[in-house]
Chains A and B, each alone.
Chain A
C-alpha cells in the first residue's frame, strides 16, 4: 500500500513537474511575443519612443498615440484573450467528448455565431432604428455572440433528459442543428448584396483588426471568467477520460462537470468569435501539441493551452498586420497556412507513438 502510494506520487510528480516547466517556458514566450508585437506594425511607429515620450510628458504626435494606445494595445489584449479562449475551449471540448478532434464547433457555437453575424451583416437594416442605433457597429459582434449562445443552449436542451446530458446525442444533434443553421445562413446569403457577401467572406476568415477598448470591455469579462473557471473542472475532465460510469464511481459529479465544461467552452468561444470572427485551427492544434509533449492531465493542459493559444494568436496577428502592409491578410489564413503543415509534421514525426 505504502509502496503503491509512493509510486503513484512519483508518477504524478513527474507530469506536474513537466507541466510547470512548460508553463514557465510558455509564459516567457508569450511575454516576448507580446513585446515584439507591440513594437511592430505597418506604420513603423516605435512603441518605446512613444511610451517614453508620453511618460516623460513630452508632446506625442496624435497619430503615434492612436497607433500605440488605440490600435496596438487593444489588439494585443484581444489577441491574448481570444487565443487563450479558443485553445482552452478546444482542450475542454476534447476532454468532454474524449476525442482529439473535438472543438467548440460541436456545441453549435460557431455555426450559431456565424448565423448571427450573417444575419446582422445582411439584415441589420431591418431592425427598429432605435435598436440599430444603440447597437451601432457592434451589432455584428452582439448578434454573433447571442447566435452562438442560442445554438448552444438549444443543443444542450435537446441532449439533456432527466438531468443527464448525453454526449452522443449532443454530437449527432449538433450535426443536425449545424445543417439547419447552415440552411438559414444560406437563405440569408442568397438575399445578400455583393458588398455584404464580401463582408461575410472576410468575417469568416477572422481578424483582430476591429479590436477596440469598447469591444474588449464587453467581451473580456466573459472570457476572463471562463478562463479562470477552467482549472476548476480539470479534475472532472480527467475523471471523464475513464468513461462516464467509471468517473461517477471515483466520485466525480459527472453531470456538473459536463454542464460546467459546456458553459465554460461556450462562453469563452462565443465571446472570442463575436469579436474576432472565425479563426480556426487554434482550438484543435494547440491542446493537441501540448498533450503530445506533456500528457493528457488537464490541470496543466488547460493552463498551458491558454498560454500557447495566446502566443500563437498574437504571433499570427503580428504576421497578419505586417506581411502585406499597409494592407492586412486575414488572420485565419495565417493560422491555417502555418499551423496546418506544422501540425502535419508533428503528427508524422510522432506516428509511432500515436499508432502504439
Chain B
C-alpha cells in the first residue's frame, strides 16, 4: 500500500490534477476506456476527435483514430490529432510523453480513479467539469448511486458467497485475483467476498489453494470468443482436478461477463455490479 501511495504521489508530482473547466474545447482526446465511456454518457461525444486503445466502448468510439496504448503514448502521435484538450485516466504515460505534451501547451486533465460509489461519482463529475458541462453529470451519477444503493439495500437470504475471479487460464494454470484489484472491488460492490485474500494483485494460484479457497462462484471475463468454445471451456474448467472439488464446480456456477463492463469502473459500473450480484445470488436479488 505504501508503495502504491508513493508511486501515486510521484505521479501526482508529474501530473498535477487540476480539473479546470474547458467549455471551449472542441477537439478532445480521451485516454482510458472509462473516461471515454463517461464522455459518451455525458452526451459530449461530438467533441471527441481521438481515443486510446483501451477505449473500446461504445462501439462508435472505435471509429475514432487510436493514438496507442495509454501507458505507451507517443508524443508526436498525440500531437498529430491536434487536440485542444486531453482527458486522461490516472496512469497515462510514459511520463516523458506527458512532459512533452505539457510543453506544447495543450490542457491535460487527469481524472482520478474511483472504485466505489463516491469515487465513481467524483470521476464522472471530474470529466463533466473538465468538459465545462457540470450539470450533465447529474443524471449518470444519480443512476449510478441508485444502482449501488439498491444493492446495499438488498438483503441476502443466506451467507455472503465466496467468489473466485479467474483472470486467465493459460495451459491449465489459474491466474486469479487477490485483493486490491478491480475484480476485488467489483466483487465487493456485488456484495460477495473474494475467495482469495492471501495476496495482492493477479497471481498464478496453486491447485491446492483453489481447493482450500472453496469458492461458491467462479467469475471470468468474456473476451468475445464464439459461444461454442465457451461450453468447451466450461467443461474443461470444471473438470480441472483442483476446481472440480469446489462448491462452484458442483453447482456449475461459472459467470462470464464482458471485461470492460465488469472491470472498467465507468458509468455502467452500477448496472454491472447489479448484474454480477444477480448472477451470483440468482435472479431474485439485487432489486431485479
Which of A's residues lie within 8 Å of B, judged by CB? Answer: 41-44, 62-63, 66-67, 70-72, 123-127, 129, 132-133, 136-137, 190, 192-195, 198-199, 202, 207, 209-212, 215, 321, 324-328, 330
CB–CB A66/B10 < 8 A: no
Tier of interface size on chain B: 35 or more
Contacts of A330 in B (CB 8 A): 72
Contacts of B103 in A (CB 8 A): 66, 70
CA distance A17 to B180 in the complex (A): 66
Determine whether B157 belongs to the interface, using a CB cutoff of 8 Å to chain A. no
Contact partner of A326 among B50, B96, B105, B106, CB < 8 A? B50
Determine whether B97 belongs to the interface, using a CB cutoff of 8 Å to chain A. yes
Contacts of A72 in B (CB 8 A): 76
29 residue pairs from A and B, CB less than 8 Å apart: A41-B76, A42-B77, A42-B79, A43-B82, A63-B79, A66-B103, A70-B100, A71-B75, A71-B100, A125-B5, A127-B6, A132-B10, A136-B14, A137-B14, A137-B95, A137-B96, A198-B69, A199-B72, A209-B74, A209-B97, A210-B96, A211-B96, A212-B96, A326-B67, A327-B53, A327-B66, A327-B69, A328-B68, A330-B72
Residue from B66, B79, B81, B97 having most chain A Cβ neighbours under 10 A: B79
CB–CB A62/B105 < 8 A: yes
- Name the interface residues of B15-41: CB closer than 8 Å to any CB of A: none
Contacts of A41 in B (CB 8 A): 76, 80
Contacts of A125 in B (CB 8 A): 2-7, 10
Chain A min CB distance to B210 (Å): 18
Chain A min CB distance to B55 (Å): 12
Contacts of A67 in B (CB 8 A): 76, 79, 104
CA distance A67 to B105 in the complex (A): 12
Nearest B residue (CB) for A129: B6
In the complex, besides A71-B79, A328-B72, 14 extra interface pairs with C-beta distance below 8 angstroms are: A42-B76, A62-B104, A62-B105, A63-B82, A63-B106, A67-B76, A67-B79, A123-B3, A125-B4, A209-B74, A212-B96, A212-B100, A321-B74, A326-B81
CA distance A42 to B77 in the complex (A): 5
Residue from A70, A71, A129 having most chain B Cβ neighbours under 10 A: A71
CB–CB A325/B75 < 8 A: no
- Name the interface residues of B101-125: CB closer than 8 Å to any CB of A: 103-106
- Closest 9 interchain pairs by CB? A327-B68, A43-B80, A137-B95, A328-B74, A326-B77, A210-B96, A42-B80, A125-B6, A125-B7
Residue from A133, A202, A211, A328 having most chain B Cβ neighbours under 10 A: A328
CA distance A136 to B12 in the complex (A): 11
Contacts of B138 in A (CB 8 A): none
CB–CB B104/A63 < 8 A: yes
Determine whether B9 belongs to the interface, using a CB cutoff of 8 Å to chain A. yes
- State the total of A-B contacts with C-beta under 8 angstroms: 122
Chain B min CB distance to A54 (Å): 15
| Per-residue interface assignment for chain B, residues 200 to 240, with 1 indicating a CB less than 8 Å from any chain A CB and 0 otherwise | 01110000000000000000000000000000000000000
Contacts of A129 in B (CB 8 A): 6, 9
CA distance A327 to B66 in the complex (A): 6
Contacts of B6 in A (CB 8 A): 125-127, 129, 132
Chain B min CB distance to A124 (Å): 7
Contacts of B99 in A (CB 8 A): 137, 212
| Per-residue interface assignment for chain B, residues 46 to 73, with 1 indicating a CB less than 8 Å from any chain A CB and 0 otherwise | 0000100100000000000111110111
Determine whether B94 belongs to the interface, using a CB cutoff of 8 Å to chain A. yes
CB–CB B91/A195 < 8 A: yes
Contacts of A210 in B (CB 8 A): 94, 96-97
Contacts of A71 in B (CB 8 A): 75-76, 79, 100
CB–CB B80/A193 < 8 A: no
Contact partner of B201 among A136, A193, A325, A328, CB < 8 A? A193
Contacts of B198 in A (CB 8 A): none
Determine whether B78 belongs to the interface, using a CB cutoff of 8 Å to chain A. yes
CB–CB A66/B74 < 8 A: no
Chain A min CB distance to B159 (Å): 31
Contacts of B104 in A (CB 8 A): 62-63, 66-67
Nearest A residue (CB) for B167: A194
Chain A min CB distance to B197 (Å): 17
CB–CB A195/B71 < 8 A: yes
CB–CB B3/A207 < 8 A: no
Determine whether B153 belongs to the interface, using a CB cutoff of 8 Å to chain A. no
Contacts of A132 in B (CB 8 A): 6, 10
CB–CB A327/B67 < 8 A: yes
Determine whether B251 belongs to the interface, using a CB cutoff of 8 Å to chain A. no
Chain B min CB distance to A323 (Å): 11
Contacts of B77 in A (CB 8 A): 42-43, 321, 325-328
CA distance A321 to B10 in the complex (A): 28
Contacts of A212 in B (CB 8 A): 96, 99-100
CA distance A119 to B213 in the complex (A): 32
Chain B min CB distance to A150 (Å): 23
